[in-house]
Amino acid sequence: MSAFSTARTRATPRWNLRQREAVLFYLCIAPWIIGFLLFYLGPILASFYFSLTEWDLLTPPKFIGLANYARIFTRDPLAIKSFKVTLVYTLAYVPTDLAFGLLLALLLNRKLRGIGVFRTVYYLPSVLSGVAYVVMWMWMFNPQHGLINTLLSYLHIQGPRWLLDPKWALPSLIIMSLWGVGRSMVIFLAGLQDIPNELYESADIDGANLWHKFWKITLPLLSPSILFNLIFGIILTFQSFTNAFIATNGGPLDSTLFFVLYLYRKAFEHLQMGYASALAWLLFVIVLVCTLVIFLTSGKWVFYRSVEE
């Protein structure tokens, strides 16, 4: 606080108004700049350096060039497997989440009585993430006494062993995460409420049906929200860790061994800090490239209304 007044009084005689404002700006954001160097840029660069070393935390890091990266691609089938698991999960989960989120938002955007209650019900699970959420779902998926197989048994269906079955474990995690679809739903809902009603009214006059209105009005005007959900969905899903760590610990038969779970094991269980850093950097680059590609191609399908402000 005092930094403000001293900088100000000292600055007054020498600096003009604009310069003083600039100095004040940099003083205001100084915490962020320091934090950025200490907790973002520094760690990212350090992580790249570590990725070129062999390091067990006990002895000093030994520089080994790109050997860690070579190891990922040539001598570590588990790393490749964990990447495939993550990729399959992302490709299955993100579009499903977007589709359900959009569907729910469309249903909930109608002006019906009691719609607020429905919005609350669908949104609530998405604020509950973490261990309790996962433990609850482990009980849902329990093959003998869980709710899902109990309900299936009423229909005379023998449910699978869910999290314990290598074929069903990954789909189980997808179902588990879809309970949190409210996150993308709310963003779609905010986007929908921004679409002016007049557009639909004039479409009605032109005799457009629901299907046309959806494809010609709703979807194009919602494309910024779709882009947002797509990018954040991909970034978050590529980093999935907690759910699998708790529910399956990567099993059965490594069928849910997510990339970050593998990275965590290498770093904090096997103390291979150098190798784990190489895995982290690989993930960083992959997600960065994915995000950039989506951004750069988004000009073709994302429709921005002319600037109104």
Partner 1 sequence: MASLKSTIKASTELDTLQPGHWRRNIWNLVIYLMLILGSIMFILPLFWALSSSFKSDYQVMQYPPQWIPDPIRWQNYPEALTYVPFGRFALNTLIIAVGAITGNLLSCTLIAYGFARLRAPGKDFLFIVMLSTMMLVEPVRIIPMYIEFKALDWIDTFLPLIVPAFFGSPFYIFLLRQFFMNIPRELEEAALIDGANRLQILWRVILPISKPALAAVAIFNFQGVWNDFLYPLVFLHNQNNYTIALGLNFFRSSYTVHWGYLMAASIVALLPIVVVFFFAQRYFIQGITFTGIKG
Nearer to partner 1, 170 or 187 (CB): 187
Bridge partners (DSSP) of residue 54 are 62
Nearer to partner 1, 92 or 109 (CB): 109
Provide the greatest CA pair distance for the chain. 86
Nearer to partner 1, 118 or 214 (CB): 118
Nearer to partner 1, 89 or 133 (CB): 133
CB of 105 to partner 1, least distance (A): 11
CB of 222 to partner 1, least distance (A): 8
CB of 68 to partner 1, least distance (A): 13
CB of 75 to partner 1, least distance (A): 21
Q: Where are the beta strands (DSSP E) in the chain?
A: 53-54, 62-63
Contact between 262 and 82 (Cβ < 8 Å): yes
Bridge partners (DSSP) of residue 63 are 53
Nearer to partner 1, 86 or 255 (CB): 86
Return the residue matching tokens 């690989």: 282
Nearer to partner 1, 92 or 142 (CB): 142
Question: Quick one: which of 195, 213, 193 has its CA closest to 204?
Answer: 213
CB of 77 to partner 1, least distance (A): 21
Burial letters for 31-67: b for 16+ Cβ neighbours within 10 Å, e otherwise? eeeeeeeeeeeeeeeebeebbbbbbeeeeebeebeee
Find the Cα–Cα–Cα–Cα dihedral 7, 13, 19, 25, rounded to 10°: 20
CB of 110 to partner 1, least distance (A): 6
Contact between 295 and 287 (Cβ < 8 Å): no
Nearer to partner 1, 92 or 287 (CB): 287
Nearer to partner 1, 14 or 113 (CB): 113
Alpha-carbon span 223 to 294, nearest angstrom: 13
CA 214 to chain CA centroid, Å, is 27
Q: Count CB-CB contacts under 10 A for residue 107.
A: 13
CB of 229 to partner 1, least distance (A): 9
CB of 73 to partner 1, least distance (A): 19
* DSSP codes, 130-152: SHHHHHHHHHHT-TTT-HHHHHH
- Tokens for 167? 């074929």
